[in-house]
Chains A and B, each alone.
Chain A
Amino acid sequence: MYENLETAENPDNLKRVVIDPVSRVEGHGKVTLLLDENNKVKQARLHIVEFRGFERFIQGRPYWELPVLVQRLCGICPVSHHLAAAKAIDQLVGVDPENLPPAADKLRRLLHFGQVMQSHSLHFFHLSSPDLLFGFESDISKRHILAVLEAHPDIGLQGVKLRKFGQEVIRMVSGKRIHGTGAIAGGMNKALTKAERDYLKADVEQMITWADAAVALIKKVHCSNLPYYDDFGTIATNYLSLNKPNGALELYHGGIRVKDPQGKTLLEGFDYCDYNKIIHEEVRPWTYMKFPYLTDIGKEDGWYRVGPLARINNCDFIDTPLAEKARVEFKQHGGGQAMVHSTLAFHWTRLIEVLHCAESIKQLLDDPDILDSSNLVAQGEKRFSGVGVIEAPRGTLFHHYEVDDNDIVTKANLIVSTTSNNMGMNESVRQVAAEYLSGQELTEPLLNNLEVAIRAYDPCLSCATHAVGKMPLQVELVNAEGDLINKVMKHSDGQLEKLI
């Protein structure tokens, strides 16, 4: 591991390089490097603007507003927050997951598969494929979805349409592209109509074919330079995910499974309602972002990674045939080791999940329960605390609410997947800095390697705000005396301006 690069011994005597913000991720993140006079990296950190205000945003609201309200926390995975909130408020009305009406359970799963599919497709085709197809240090003008569309029009178009299909699944199930009210306390507010079902069925086979081709593409890219891909940003870690009771991959509901770096199971089928008995969050003075860890193992070694790599590492099998075949091939590529630790393997596992989502959507569209509007909502006895956990595209997402006698939320706690991956991203940045940058003259293509490592996690660093004219990139080079000697600004339109 590379914890020795978290804090340098004599930071005042070192050169400082800043990548601010990290590009092609959601929100604002910044990397700082401290270099000695020989450009040896002495300290590397990823700083993230914390999700401050989430809890305050939720507290004081009536619980039934939450599934709609929390969608506004994030423009990338609003449906994940919607469903985690719905699962939590199910408990507030006394409905446990096993008591949800079958039609409601299946409609929520359909909604979730659409969300994971569109989010993963966006990440791979739009944000990462330029690096993967043209090279991490390729000309900056090429690292763009439009360059992919020009050089590989079929791949680019398939990416656009896979993403669109996932969005259409969301629209059909929840009634709107965004701000839909699909899930409500204890169930769903509508079933699919036959026309909506048939609209989606018309395209689903094509989506499975394209998703299968995307898995083949990433396998080819990864295996074409196997030692490099298996080493870049790679760290051996614990992994946390939900799993089905039979050990299958699970995205919507299951028990918590934790495996250690050697593949030994540390937790199996753990009830996520007791999450705060196994997970604590450490605060460090140099960042707003917390560092979650498994209490039993401790701060030093108890941190873990979540997301597609964790899920594929942790599961025993996938219950759709093409995705299972892809999983087996993925595990075999590393020589059959129990766990794959390659950070770039996040991309491969992400596309296996896209394939699983497409296959699962097809299965659900063939299930008559999704058309059954006769029993969509269950009821039970009021409770004062509810926990909803879901496997969001970027990893395990926790929502925990407490309400008073008037059904007003008095306490809220969220652990979002990017927080769980905070230590992993920092360690990957340090690995890349130490192995690929240290001792070299830093250039923009070299610095992009750091962003590639972060981007593999598909972090969602803030929420759905945007404004024309914001989000420039600024890189500063400061010499050992602390003087600013080089400063370049990248404006929101992509234009580079040398300021010093």
Chain B
Amino acid sequence: MNKAILIFGYGNLSRGDDALAPLLLEKIEAEIDVNKVEILTDFQLQIEHALDLEDRQLVLFVDASVACESAFDFCELQPSRDKSYTTHAMSPASVLQVYQSIKKTAPPPCFLLSIQGLSFELGESLTTQAQQNLQQALEFTEQLLKHPELKYWQAQVTGSA
């Protein structure tokens, strides 16, 4: 049986600000209730990650984003056939759609925390701005985990997916 809450961060630790999500998971790992929360990470999202959503009550995807205009954005996800097939990577909404296709049921409530990143070059460390964004996103995530309820998470949404 899977744990009720999944935090799934994706990114590459050696690609500058692309490390934001795995770094957030590293920092949050010591604070979670291991009986209720599972942390998973990967370089990028793929079709089989739909199977990681099974039996969850709440799912939080975490990613670095150049499209983010503030330190972080938080939105609720809906399954979407968004044609995100320009690379081997999928969008979280597409992963939800895969779940819906193979399970024939709606996915659990899923949210995306996008942390603003600026530079993604191989071998770079986090930019100064990204470090500040990471701290704000970390404090926000801590609040989410203190209130693992759908209504609370929905009330924190800052924008649309």
Real complex partners, A and B? yes
Given A75-B12, A468-B65, decide whether A122 and B46 contact each other with a Cβ distance below 8 A.
Answer: yes
Stretch at the interface among B28-36, B95-103, B133-141: B95-103
Residues in A neighbouring B120, C-beta threshold 8 A: 465, 467
Render A129-156 as a binary contact track against B, CB cut-off 8 A, 1 for contact.
0000000000011011110011001001
Contact check, B84 vs A75: say whether CB atoms are below 8 A apart. no
Q: Does A254 count as interface, using CB distance less than 8 angstroms? A: no
Q: Which of B51, B81, B117, B123 contacts A467 (CB 8 A)?
A: B117
Q: Which of A145, A464, A494 contacts B12 (CB 8 A)?
A: A464
Interface size on A, residues (CB 8 A): 56
Contact check, A160 vs B12: say whether CB atoms are below 8 A apart. no
Q: Which chain B residue shows the least CB distance to A164?
A: B48
Given A157-B102, A467-B66, decide whether A146 and B81 contact each other with a Cβ distance below 8 A.
Answer: yes
- Which of the listed residues A21, A76, A465 has the most CB atoms from chain B within 10 Å of its own CB? A465
Q: Which of A57, A78, A126 contacts B123 (CB 8 A)?
A: A57
Contact check, A469 vs B40: say whether CB atoms are below 8 A apart. no
Contact check, B46 vs A467: say whether CB atoms are below 8 A apart. no
Residues in B neighbouring A73, C-beta threshold 8 A: 122
Q: Does B78 count as interface, using CB distance less than 8 angstroms? A: no
Q: Does A454 count as interface, using CB distance less than 8 angstroms? A: no
Residues in B neighbouring A471, C-beta threshold 8 A: 86-87
Q: Does A24 count as interface, using CB distance less than 8 angstroms? A: yes
Render A325-340 as a binary contact track against B, CB cut-off 8 A, 1 for contact.
0000000000000000
Contact check, B66 vs A469: say whether CB atoms are below 8 A apart. yes
Total A-B Cβ pairs within 8 A: 147
Q: Which chain B residue shows the least CB distance to A123?
A: B88
Q: Which chain B residue shows the least CB distance to A166?
A: B48
Residues in B neighbouring A53, C-beta threshold 8 A: 121-123
Q: Does A72 count as interface, using CB distance less than 8 angstroms? A: yes
Interface residues on B, range: 35 or more
Given A57-B122, A145-B98, A468-B65, decide whether A23 and B44 contact each other with a Cβ distance below 8 A.
Answer: no
Residues in B neighbouring A473, C-beta threshold 8 A: 86
Contact check, A75 vs B44: say whether CB atoms are below 8 A apart. yes
- Chain B positions 73-98 with a Cβ under 8 Å from a chain A Cβ: 81-89, 91, 94, 97-98
Contact check, B122 vs A463: say whether CB atoms are below 8 A apart. yes
Residues in B neighbouring A96, C-beta threshold 8 A: none
Contact check, A177 vs B42: say whether CB atoms are below 8 A apart. yes
Contact check, B44 vs A160: say whether CB atoms are below 8 A apart. no
In the assembled complex, the CB of A64 is this many whole angstroms from the nearest CB of chain B, namely 17
Task: State in angstroms the CA–CA spacing of A214 and B126 once bound together.
Answer: 43
Chain B contact surface mostly: loop
Contact check, A23 vs B85: say whether CB atoms are below 8 A apart. yes
Given A72-B12, A75-B43, decide whether A494 and B66 contact each other with a Cβ distance below 8 A.
Answer: no
Residues in A neighbouring B42, C-beta threshold 8 A: 75, 177-178
Q: Does A492 count as interface, using CB distance less than 8 angstroms? A: yes
Contact check, B15 vs A465: say whether CB atoms are below 8 A apart. yes
- Which of the listed residues B68, B98, B117 has the most CB atoms from chain A within 10 Å of its own CB? B98
Q: Does A405 count as interface, using CB distance less than 8 angstroms? A: no
In the assembled complex, the CB of B137 is this many whole angstroms from the nearest CB of chain A, namely 14
- Chain A positions 327-379 with a Cβ under 8 Å from a chain B Cβ: none
Residues in A neighbouring B91, C-beta threshold 8 A: 468, 492-493
Q: Which chain A residue shows the least CB distance to B92?
A: A468
Task: State in angstroms the CA–CA spacing of A492 and B98 once bound together.
Answer: 18
Residues in B neighbouring A490, C-beta threshold 8 A: 86
Q: Does A466 count as interface, using CB distance less than 8 angstroms? A: yes
In the assembled complex, the CB of A171 is this many whole angstroms from the nearest CB of chain B, namely 11
Contact check, B82 vs A494: say whether CB atoms are below 8 A apart. yes
- Besides A57-B14, A164-B51, 19 other A-B contacts (C-beta < 8 A): A25-B87, A53-B122, A75-B88, A76-B88, A126-B85, A126-B88, A141-B83, A149-B101, A156-B102, A160-B48, A160-B50, A178-B41, A464-B12, A464-B18, A464-B43, A467-B64, A467-B117, A473-B86, A492-B86
User: 9 nearest interchain CB pairs?
Assistant: A494-B83, A469-B67, A75-B43, A72-B14, A164-B48, A468-B65, A149-B101, A464-B43, A464-B12
User: Which residues of B does A touch, CB under 8 Å?
Assistant: 10-15, 18, 40-44, 46-48, 50-51, 63-68, 81-89, 91, 94, 97-98, 101-102, 114, 117, 120-123
User: Can you list 15 A-B contacts (CB < 8 A)?
Assistant: A21-B86, A24-B86, A72-B122, A125-B47, A126-B88, A140-B83, A144-B83, A150-B101, A156-B101, A160-B50, A161-B48, A464-B44, A465-B18, A469-B66, A490-B86
User: Which residues of A does B touch, CB under 8 Å?
Assistant: 21, 23-27, 53-54, 56-57, 69, 72-73, 75-76, 78, 122, 125-127, 140-141, 143-146, 149-150, 153, 156-157, 159-161, 163-164, 167, 177-179, 463-473, 490, 492-495
